[in-house]
Amino acid sequence: MGDRQFFWPQGIFFFACARAHARSKARRSFAPLVVLLFAAFVLPVFAAPLSIEQAKLRLNDPKSDARIEGILALKTYRQIESAQALQAALAIETDPQVQLALLDGIGVMPELVSARALNPLVTHTLVPIRMRAIYILGLIGGRPAERILSQVILRETDSDVKAMALQSLSLCGSSESVDEIQKALYDKRPAVRAKAAESLRHIPGKASEKTLEAALSDSDPKVRDIAQKALAKRKAKGKK
């Protein structure tokens, strides 16, 4: 079991195994086998979780399964120490599955994570990793996240990833993001233009409102519909 610790139920169950085995010798029953199997498969449930230090050690294990186990343990603590350990591991990890697990761990504690730690992953060769990193940047928020997302919108070629960047930017963007979103409204792909119009609904200011008004003349009916609804919601919110 390595560095896992067990609570007192383990001792009780093994004691029960010994007693059952001794009493059943004469009766030749299967009770000892049943009890042993019960102890073997049920007792691990009582295993104590890894400590932060134990979990951090797992992050350096050559086996990816062990690293993921350490990530899952750190994910439950939601402390600065665990967040820092996950960020450090993310900077050197090369296995895509472990990278996704690290992003999931970071995603549950975005308030403890630096947006800059995710910057290298927004240009990852794999779309799922780029999507996950961009989504988490929206949760982190702040000017560093806004700048990274703005750059993603400018250079990203995948429409799904670009749409995710626009969505994340709508969560953390300010009036300074309007220029990048406005450029996305001239994208050839209607799905990207629609997401750009939708993201402007969450960004206050006259600049975003004027950009939405311009989207009302888009060639795609879905983009026009989204822009119209976004303007209506902004006006309704302004009346309250």
Q: Are residues 200 and 122 in the same domain?
A: yes
Residue 47 pLDDT greater than 90, yes or no? no
What is the mean pLDDT of the segment spanning 208-218? 90
Check: CB of residue 90 under 8 Å from CB of residue 82: no
Whether residue 155 sits in one domain with residue 76: no
Establish if 30 belongs to a structural domain: no
Confidence of residue 84 (pLDDT cuts 50, 70, 90): very high
| Shared-domain flag, residues 150 and 67 | no
If asked whether residues 132 and 232 sit together in one domain, one would say yes
Q: Is the pLDDT of residue 146 over 60?
A: yes
Q: How far is Cα 130 from Cα 12, in angstroms, rounded to an integer?
A: 49
Task: Verify that 184 and 126 share a domain, yes or no.
Answer: yes
Residue 73 lies in a domain: yes
Where does a domain end: 91, 113, 135?
A: 113
Task: Indicate whether this model's pTM tops 0.75.
Answer: no
Task: Note the pLDDT tens digit of each residue in 4-20.
Answer: 444 445 555 555 555 65
Do 132 and 143 sit in the same domain of this protein?
yes
* pLDDT given for residue 49 in this prediction: 85
Domain count, the chain: 2
Asked if residue 44 is part of any domain, the answer here is no
Domain carrying residue 214: 115-240
* 172 domain-assigned: yes
Query: Residue 239's domain is classified under what CATH number?
Result: 1.25.10.10
Average pLDDT over residues 204-208: 82
Q: How many CA atoms are closer than 13 Å to the CA of 103, on its beta-carbon side? A: 24
Mean pLDDT along residues 197-214? 85
Between the alpha carbon of residue 98 and those of residues 25, 52, 70, 116, 194, the distances in Å are 49, 18, 10, 19, 33
- Tell me if 90 sits within 8 A of 117, measured CB to CB: yes
Residue 144 in any domain: the answer is: yes
Average the pLDDT over each of 19-28, 158-167, 209-218 and give the range with the smallest value.
19-28
What's the CA gap between 50 and 71, in Å, rounded?
A: 10
Q: Tell me what pLDDT residue 217 has.
A: 92
15-24, 30-39, 76-85, 197-206 — most confident range: 76-85
Is the confidence at residue 164, as pLDDT, over 50?
A: yes
CATH number at residue 84: 1.25.10
**Are 124 and 234 members of one domain?**
yes
- Judge if 161 and 104 occupy the same domain: no
Q: Token pair 């010994």 is at which residue?
A: 18
pLDDT per residue over 170-204, tens digit each? Answer: 887 677 778 778 888 888 899 899 988 888 887 87
Spatial separation of the C-alpha atoms in residues 216 and 167, rounded to whole Å: 19
- pLDDT, mean over the chain: 83
pLDDT at 222: 94
Rounded mean pLDDT, 109-138: 96
- For 172-222, give the secondary structure using H, E and C: HCCHHHHHHHHHHCCCCCHHHHHHHHHHHCCCCCHHHHHHHHHHCCCCCHH
Instruction: Output the pLDDT for position 11.
Output: 53
Residue 6, in any domain of the structure: no
Verify that 123 and 103 share a domain, yes or no. Answer: no
Boundary (domain end) residue, out of 113, 135, 167: 113
CA dist 50 and 48 (Å) reads 7
Please check whether residues 148 and 168 belong to one and the same domain. Answer: yes
**pLDDT given at position 16:** 59
In a domain, 40, yes or no: no
> Does residue 35 lie within any of the structural domains?
no
